[in-house]
Amino acid sequence: MKVFVTGASGFVGSVVVHELVTAGHQVVGLARSDASAAAITAAGAAVVRGSLDDLESLRSGAELADGVIHCAFMHNFSDYAAAAEADWKAIETLGAVLVGSKRPFIVTSGMGAKTEDDDITNTPSAVAARASEKTALELVAQGVHAMVMRLPPIVHGEGDRHGFTTRLINIAREKGVSPYAGEGLNCWPAVHRIDAAHLYRLGLENAPAGSRLHAVGDEGVPVRDIAEVIGRHLNLPVVSIPVEKAVEHFGFLGALFPRDISASNKLTQERFNWHPMQPGLIADLDQGHYFN
């Protein structure tokens, strides 16, 4: 299959490209810079130059393709509304090219739900505010073979430079302490990026329109365990801080860190015969590459 991948140079998209190329698919990646174009070419894919703001570049990439995977996102947390708007406009543009065809379209979203069958589109969450999922599922009603890949807030693996794990490590280094909020028994889901990439391919090849796939490796890691492994590797004290101090300590992550956001992967495993094989979050952190 010829697959157009946005975000093909990113932490997630680059392993999706590798997974697809290795499985014999032809890949065309969207690149907004010479550096990204070079990385995509080196991964064995062709390049369409453009950006999320250049909707014509998205159309031309999708027109060439038998399937589309949308991984690009402007990670500008100081203007999340603008990033979300660029995202849904890109999804609508890509979807408009695919109307009435059987060409699969995978849209990346966040988690925000316990199970695959839970609808998050009308919940007051940051994931719902991003509107990727709502926009994608509305396309299904218009005759697009669209589906949603829900990624947990922690996607981990070698080369992670700005994910939440790296941010937690950087905050611990800066403040000289690795805390958790309250008892730290609340849990976060996580996935290794190689397992996630494999699920993108299975979804592309097999999933029905309207599917919501949970790329969840660890269904729930207690945040206290995350703080402990970070403290151990950085040789820093691991302490509890009051929940109400979490935002002061962690910045925007502090609103999330005290919450239990564990999520299931049961239906995704059953429906798509996907079984995460890579190290879980704690084992991956214990390999040490996050601390070099």
Ligand X SMILES: NC(=O)c1ccc[n+]([C@@H]2O[C@H](COP(=O)([O-])OP(=O)(O)OC[C@H]3O[C@@H](n4cnc5c(N)ncnc54)[C@H](OP(=O)(O)O)[C@@H]3O)[C@@H](O)[C@H]2O)c1
Q: Check: CB of residue 6 under 8 Å from CB of residue 72.
A: yes
108 counts as binding ligand X under rule CB under 6 A: yes
Q: Check: CB of residue 222 under 8 Å from CB of residue 185.
A: yes
Cβ-based nearer residue to ligand X, 30 or 207: 30
Site mask, ligand X, residues 222-241, x = CB under 6 A? --------------------
Q: Which amino acid is at 149?
A: M
60 counts as binding ligand X under rule CB under 6 A: no
C-beta contacts of 53-57 below 8 A and 24+ residues apart: 53/86, 55/89, 55/90, 55/93, 57/30
Interface region with ligand X, contact rule CB under 6 A, candidates 11-19, 199-207, 237-245, 262-270: 11-19
104 counts as binding ligand X under rule CB under 6 A: no
32 counts as binding ligand X under rule CB under 6 A: yes
73 counts as binding ligand X under rule CB under 6 A: yes
Cα–Cα distances (Å) from 103 to 61, 89, 142, 160, 197, in that order, read 13, 19, 13, 31, 19
SS3 49: strand
33 counts as binding ligand X under rule CB under 6 A: yes
What does the alpha-carbon distance between residue 182 and residue 223 come to, in Å, rounded to a whole number?
Answer: 10
203 sits in which H/E element? helix 193-206
7 counts as binding ligand X under rule CB under 6 A: yes
136 counts as binding ligand X under rule CB under 6 A: no
Q: Which of residues 178-197 bind ligand X (CB under 6 A)?
A: none
112 counts as binding ligand X under rule CB under 6 A: no
Show Cβ contacts of residue 210 under 8 Å, excluding neighbours closer than 6 positions.
137, 140, 146, 147
Shortest CB 108 distance to ligand X, Å: 4
262 counts as binding ligand X under rule CB under 6 A: no
Give the DSSP letter of residue 207: P
CA atoms within 13 A on the CB side of 84: 17
Q: Which amino acid is at 48?
A: V
Q: Which of residues 199-218 bind ligand X (CB under 6 A)?
A: none
Interface region with ligand X, contact rule CB under 6 A, candidates 97-105, 147-155, 228-236, 238-246: 147-155
* Terminal Cα-to-Cα distance of the chain (whole angstroms): 38
Shortest CB 180 distance to ligand X, Å: 19
Shortest CB 18 distance to ligand X, Å: 13
170 counts as binding ligand X under rule CB under 6 A: no
Cβ-based nearer residue to ligand X, 11 or 105: 11
Q: What does the buried/exposed string (b/e) look like for 94-124 if buried means 16 or more CB atoms within 10 Å of the residue's CB?
A: bbebbeeeebbbbbbbbbbbeebeeebbeee
Interface region with ligand X, contact rule CB under 6 A, candidates 4-12, 91-99, 177-185, 258-266: 4-12
Among 4, 11, 250, 274, binds ligand X (CB under 6 A): 11
Shortest CB 75 distance to ligand X, Å: 5
Q: Which of residues 37-56 bind ligand X (CB under 6 A)?
A: 51-53
Shortest CB 240 distance to ligand X, Å: 25
Residues that bind ligand X (CB under 6 A): 7-13, 30, 32-33, 36, 51-53, 71-75, 108, 110, 151, 153-155, 163-164
